[in-house]
Structure 1
Amino acid sequence: MSELVIDDAPFSDSPVGTGRLIVVSNRIPKSNEVPAGGLVNAMHEALTGAGGLWIGAADPSEQALDGLTRIGSGDYDRATFAITEAEHIGYYLGYSNSVLWPLFHHRPDLLDISESEFEAYAAVNRRVARAIASTVKPDDLIWIQDYHFLMVAQELRALGIANRIGLFLHIPFPNPTDVMALPQVAALSSWLAAHDIVGLQTMRDVTSANEVLRHDPKAQVLRGGKWLRENRTFSVLSFPIGIDAEKFAKTAEAARKPDLQLADDAPLLIGVDRLDYSKGLVQRFEAFDDYLSRRAKGDPRPTFLQIAPPSREDVAAYQEIREELERTAGSINGAHADLDWTPLRYVRRHVDRDLIAGLYRRADAALVTPLADGMNIVAKEFVAAQDAEDPGVLILSHFAGAAEQMDAALLINPFDKRSFSDAIDRAIHMPLEERRERHQTLREGVFEKDIRWWTDSFLARLSQVRP
């Protein structure tokens, strides 16, 4: 395969220790605008401080050549690797999001297994490894993001790359029972062992990963979160991701007040999620329906605003959850709405990040209630956005990774409709003093363990590894 030449200018040096930070993620901002939300925004914040090179997938094309294409520079360089239309279907829509995503979110029943899709996944991972190998310098740190690239480190080792390599999974880790549904389960331990640091969101995820590794006869547990497998020592550790809390708080405070045309005493509940079966949206709607059915006569009429932009619409499971959610929303409004009141407002499109920050600040409660989630930074953004003098209430699922750090929230089981609806009622009627106490505790954690803390913690551990 021929090499794709980008230009003669080398990527800039940005010291992490004595080398650069090279970050790899599937999504990468194609323009110079600050990216919105999730992993991409987290990587932008991390690299803005550390500098280095960010590598991501190009838009699909007819032909995929080796090498990198420079797409931007500034606080850090950005470059893309090529991917074909067929690989996008197999690597991204197929193996990544129809096998790994449901498996790691504890839904092995949704796996759509195809050998050709795994071959596409492996081919893209090999191309990414070759692209990194073509630009990496001996002292560079390589930081691989998420489940799209589980094989890249192994491929780099096969190419003779001895650099320190870290993996961070933004999603949960499967338990030993679920992981058996993965056709490549026998290779999973070797993929992990090729890294020096495997970073996970929660201690619960670390426990799951350790249990999976214990089932591998080639893996030997050592002290301090370390493992030995075929002469490679690696660590599995928890690094719960944070947000740029200071910046988000200022954005929320400065945001224009959204005109929702609500009565002055009407509570506003908000949910902000990608349209995904792991987010528990149907269960959330049903709990709100239960609350409305039992709401005390004379209570203020709440409005629940759910923002859920679609994603991966070509995957069958996502089409099904979209249809189910629309049916449920229509049923709820049909049963409870009045001429001057629509209790559930469902927005299925992207909403500007600054406007969302203002909505968080306006809201009386946020419903962050996934069935499985690595962290869910919406919980942290909501807390950061609040007015400390009159804060809203965070209703948080036990199954969100954020629950390990945010036990001052109202923690709920999203499968228990009655207790969930009781939490909604409690949030709406919670006294100001209790709201302030809970918010103060939550705020301290969000601001102390922010995105800079997360970046520094992971890279400090990775830098300590002896190459």
Structure 2
Amino acid sequence: MGRLIVISNRVSVPSAAGAAGAQGGLAVALNSALREHGGIWFGWSGQETEEFTGHLDMQRNEGVTTATIDLEAQDVEEYYNGYANRTLWPLFHYRIDLTEYDRNFGEGYERVNERFADSVYPLIADDDLVWVHDYHLLPLGSILRRKGIKNRIGLFLHTPWPPTRLLASLPFHERLVASMLEYDVIGLQTTEWLESFLHYVQKEMGLTVNLDNSIEYQGRRVIARAFPIGIDYAEFSQAAKSEVAKEAHQRLRDSVRGRKILIGVDRLDYSKGLGERFESFSRFLSDHPDMAGKAVLLQIAPPSRGDVESYQQIREDLERKTGHINGAHANVDFVPIRYVNRGYPRAELAGFYRAANVGLVTPLRDGMNLVAKEYVAAQDPEDPGVLILSQFAGAATQLKDALLVNPHSVEHVAETISRALDMPLKERKRRHAALLASVKEMDVLHWLKQYVLALSGVEKGSSALKSDGGPSAADPELAAQEESAKLGATEIAGSH
């Protein structure tokens, strides 16, 4: 078998310093996986062009080969800001009240998926495995099939999968899911999302799901499974021990002058439950007047999708809430909420995590949530902090020794904050040891190996991918270009 071709909406080009705001799960996991094993990562550059040409910009940085294309402004508006983030994202996070249905969005979504297929097609050799990521590219596999690609193609969805009756509100939902059944493997984060997907294909499409979760569809056998994603534990642990992390840890500790620290690190998104989190912290301060001036919430929330109105609204709401809560609970030398709208390199984040007594990870709905795992990995085992985790995050199925909460209940979260801050060292160490064992075992390399093994279709004990040492492109011209530019990708190899 050949190489692994990874396809996603955006491509994160790694750098030695690490990207700011690198807490996004997809970028962290794929950079880690491809840096470890090699391969090609294809997607949108994030840049706009006046006219789409399909020109590929190929680079090799920190062991990762990337290939990117630019999109037209109309593509970005209809495909990315439109169908992906104003239709699918809210729907998949159970926010049907925010879901927008617009025919132009759907047309743009299909057009860009076609453009992705046209551009990546020449990169795919006959024996490559193709791995497509996330809700932006659900129909890409079926388009590649139409172009004659017979390779094994897999999809991994990083978001939740909504209940059947919610998905049925999407116009042409049957066509969208039928296109997904052109993949060989469909991976989801948890058994809950997997069960929702299988329920849909049974109830809405009348298909039979076998005992091994395989689906027979038009003469093809499609495997659907849960593959919980993890962090690169070894890399993150090393970052947490760096001088950058140590300096960040000390800087934060010095700035709070002995106060307890609670930390949240999330993209600025309505699915993360930031408004409810702020209200819960305010309720904690009101219910425990003895803690006035003794606890600080640091919320790091890099902005995202600023062109989408609902994201502009959440930013305004959080700024109002922050001002109101700080006005109610602050004094001349203390503000309870530090609300920061920027990202930080991962090493700095590791230092902040380690300094925090409590990690607040309380999304209203989340496919997995790697911040929860990073917080655990960053802790001092001899004096660990306490993880408070939403029961609606995918990570809750693995991190059962966290304090699980209902993020919609302000009272519940406030009471749990109090419990976390009062937790004895012995209990903190016991819980952290169990959490850390899960984070270490179910890391990003475990996720990668399990998915690639399923996608390659080989039995346990066989090599999932082996090197062929040849150029990466099926197209002779592109192969020559890649060879001359010394952009050949290291092959994935390993036994399971």
Pair in the same fold by TM > 0.5: yes
Deviations 1:21-77 (A, max 9, x none): 000011112464544232112111111222111101021111112353313356232
Partner of 2:473: none
Query: Is this contact kept in 1: 2:14–2:31, CA < 8 A?
Result: no
* Aligned match for 2:380, one of 387, 409, 412: 387
Q: Distance in 2 between matches of 1:99 and 1:213?
A: 20
Deviations 1:356-413 (A, max 9, x none): 1100000000100000000000000000000000000000000100000001000000
Q: Distance in 2 between matches of 1:371 and 1:74?
A: 35
Q: In terms of mean alpha carbon deviation, does 268-277 or 66-75 score higher?
A: 66-75
Q: CA RMSD in A?
A: 1.6
Change (3 A) 1:437 1:158: same
* Aligned match for 2:9, one of 19, 26, 31: 26
* Aligned match for 1:47, one of 29, 34, 37: 34
Q: Which runs of 4+ in 1 moved over 6 A?
A: none
The structural deviation recorded for 1:314 is 0.7
- 1:181 partnered with 2:174: no
Q: Distance in 1 between matches of 2:54 and 2:301?
A: 36
Secondary structure of 1:234 counterpart: strand
Partner of 2:124: 136
Compare relative contact order (CA 8 Å, sep 6+) and give the higher one, 1 or 2. 2
Query: Scaled by the length of structure 1, what TM-score is found?
Result: 0.93
- 1:57 partnered with 2:44: yes
Query: Is this contact kept in 1: 2:292–2:329, CA < 8 A?
Result: no
* Aligned match for 2:76, one of 58, 65, 88: 88
Query: Scaled by the length of structure 2, what TM-score is found?
Result: 0.88
| 1:390-405 mapped onto 2 (5 Å cutoff) | 390-405=383-398
Q: Distance in 1 between matches of 2:343 and 2:298?
A: 14
The structural deviation recorded for 1:145 is 0.8
Q: Distance in 2 between matches of 1:138 and 1:218?
A: 33
Query: Is this contact kept in 2: 1:393–1:439, CA < 8 A?
Result: yes
- 1:297 partnered with 2:297: no
Deviations 1:423-461 (A, max 9, x none): 000011100000000000000000011111010110011
* Aligned match for 2:304, one of 299, 311, 319: 311
Partner of 1:459: 452
| 1:160-309 mapped onto 2 (5 Å cutoff) | 160-217=148-205, 219-254=207-242, 255=245, 256=247, 257-260=249-252, 261-262=254-255, 265-297=258-290, 301-309=294-302
Unaligned runs of 5+ in 1: 1-17
Deviations 1:163-210 (A, max 9, x none): 001111111111101101211212122122111110100010001101
Secondary structure of 2:342 counterpart: coil
Q: Distance in 1 between matches of 2:91 and 2:377?
A: 32
Partner of 2:483: none
Unaligned runs of 5+ in 2: 460-496
Change (3 A) 1:465 1:84: farther
Deviations 1:104-131 (A, max 9, x none): 1111111122111211110110111122
Query: Is this contact kept in 2: 1:164–1:465, CA < 8 A?
Result: no
| 1:298-447 mapped onto 2 (5 Å cutoff) | 301-447=294-440
Change (3 A) 1:330 1:300: closer
Query: Is this contact kept in 1: 2:271–2:364, CA < 8 A?
Result: yes
- Supply the AA of the counterpart residue of 1:293: S
Q: Distance in 2 between matches of 1:362 and 1:24?
A: 36
Query: Is this contact kept in 2: 1:150–1:192, CA < 8 A?
Result: yes
Q: Distance in 2 between matches of 1:435 and 1:31?
A: 35
Q: In terms of mean alpha carbon deviation, does 157-166 or 405-414 score higher?
A: 157-166
Deviations 1:243-270 (A, max 9, x none): 0112212212321134234455411000
Secondary structure of 2:449 counterpart: helix
- 1:76 partnered with 2:57: no
- Supply the AA of the counterpart residue of 1:26: N
Q: Distance in 1 between matches of 2:94 and 2:113?
A: 24
Q: Distance in 2 between matches of 1:307 and 1:253?
A: 21
Partner of 1:102: 90
Query: Is this contact kept in 1: 2:13–2:61, CA < 8 A?
Result: no
Query: Is this contact kept in 1: 2:293–2:336, CA < 8 A?
Result: no
Q: Distance in 2 between matches of 1:97 and 1:300?
A: 39
Secondary structure of 1:349 counterpart: coil
Change (3 A) 1:446 1:31: closer
The structural deviation recorded for 1:235 is 1.1
Partner of 1:9: none
Partner of 1:153: 141
Query: Is this contact kept in 2: 1:226–1:234, CA < 8 A?
Result: yes
Secondary structure of 1:82 counterpart: strand
The structural deviation recorded for 1:218 is 5.1
Q: Distance in 2 between matches of 1:417 and 1:239?
A: 32
Q: Distance in 2 between matches of 1:110 and 1:407?
A: 31
